[in-house]
Amino acid sequence: MVYVPRKIARTVPSSTLTAPALPVRAAGTFRELADGAMWAIGKGASLVPGFNPATAITSGSTKTLRFRCRPRGFSIRRKWSLVLIPDPVYADVSAEVNAGSAATVTYILSGRPVPVMYNEDLTARSSVEQEISISVKASGGNLSWEWVECREEDRSALADNSTDYGVRIETISPRAPIFNLAQVSTRGVYDAMANMDARRVGILHNALHTTDAYSTTSSSLTSITLLPYKIQVPKLTDGTTTANCLWSVYARMATSGGVGGTVQLTTSVSGVTDSATITGTTFAWITARTISVACDNFSAVDGFRDDELTIKIAGDGTRAIEVASVSIWVDTVA
């Protein structure tokens, strides 16, 4: 195992050209490159940026929030942060929390907002697009679910194999021979650099339980929020002002027939509109679609160039559309 650096290493290019100490300087720089790559691989990503689902859960019932994204694939644990508020009428309310195949954990809520940190240990790692979800069941009283977010836990160590791409540090020490083998010397450094993934995975989510889904029968597009969302994606190259991300919705039509309902995303800064048609009567994620959003502004001190995103839905005039989740994420950095 190789320990992940707590801080990202800074490489000084001029050091590699300083004679006569070139071999020592170059070896030191390889260490910095390896440390930087392993820091990026080991750093956990934000999958679900925090928001308030404002979800009421009555005693004996369970509610689930679903999200869509493409994780980096190096994480072995997800950390969910929740805020649950018990109904003051009840002295103690039990909240059973579960995510994925991880064990269910019961928390006792006693008359005040309770911050919950739930660990979802992963049985297998994956970097494919997928649904992640978390459920809360109330017992002994009602409760309100007022906050949810999820991020990958940082890795403290990486294995020196083709799964984690940890580099055997002793092989890139000053004066060490230069090899070209897996996980050692120059090949280990370059493999780690080629496979590091520092995406801001989750960009924006709006999720409700299916019984609380946004719904309308009207064929006129209506925003699901009073104000547009502020949204921004990572810049990939100098000179670009927008970048692509993917979006999907977990939705259905309440009854069959007709032309189907519509979900439309519109941005004000990048000036893009994209729409999807919903026809099925079973809740399901639609195939991910691409939308262009304003990206980081390197000329601004804080880097901000917020786009404004409006999410609208419409039925077909006779049948209602129901939208439980909207997810937007960065898929690749290619």
Sequence spans of domains, the chain: 2-43+162-195, 46-152, 202-329
Q: Which of 13-22, 27-36, 99-108, 318-327 is least confident?
A: 13-22
Angle between helices 22-42 and 185-195 (to 10 degrees): 40
Residue 177: cis peptide before it, omega within 30 degrees of 0: no
Q: What is the pLDDT of residues 24-42, one digit of tens each?
A: 444 457 888 888 889 888 9
Q: How far apart are CA 85 and CA 111, in angstroms?
A: 8
**45, 71 in Cβ contact below 8 A?**
yes
pLDDT of residue 319: 97
273 pLDDT exceeds 50?
yes
Q: How far apart are CA 123 and CA 70, in angstroms?
A: 17
Q: How far apart are CA 245 and CA 247, in angstroms?
A: 7
**79, 153 in Cβ contact below 8 A?**
yes
Q: Which of 98-107, 232-241, 283-292 is least confident?
A: 232-241
Residue 207's beta-bridge partner residues? 325
pLDDT of residue 304: 66
Give me Rg for the CA atoms of the chain.
Answer: 24
Residue-level length of the chain: 334
pLDDT band at 76 (very low <50, low <70, confident <90, very high): very high
pLDDT of residue 17: 47
The pair phi, psi for residue 297, each rounded to 5°, is -110, 100
**224, 311 in Cβ contact below 8 A?**
yes
DSSP state at residue 226: S
What average pLDDT score do residues 66-75 get?
94
* Averaged pLDDT score across all residues of the chain: 89
Chain mean position to CA 238: 24
Assign residue 303 a region (left: φ > 0; alpha: ψ between -120 and 50; beta: otherwise). Answer: left
pLDDT of residue 62: 98
86 pLDDT exceeds 60?
yes
Q: Sign (positive/negative) of CA torsion 242, 263, 134, 49?
A: positive
What average pLDDT score do residues 83-94 get?
89
Q: How far apart are CA 200 and CA 202, in angstroms?
A: 6
**3, 157 in Cβ contact below 8 A?**
yes
Q: Which two tokens stand for residue 71?
A: 């994780």
Q: Which two tokens stand for residue 38?
A: 């392993």
- The predicted model scores a pTM of 0.88
Q: How far apart are CA 323 and CA 249, in angstroms?
A: 7
Using CA atoms, how far residue 113 sits from 17, 116, 146, in Å, is: 58, 10, 9
CATH number for domain 202-329, candidates 2.30.30, 1.10.3470, 2.60.120, 2.60.40: 2.60.120
Look at the block and give the residue holding tokens 């929030």. Answer: 65
Architecture of domain 46-152: Sandwich (2.60)
First to last CA, the chain: 29
What average pLDDT score do residues 214-229 get?
96
11 pLDDT exceeds 60?
no
pLDDT of residue 91: 76
221 pLDDT exceeds 60?
yes
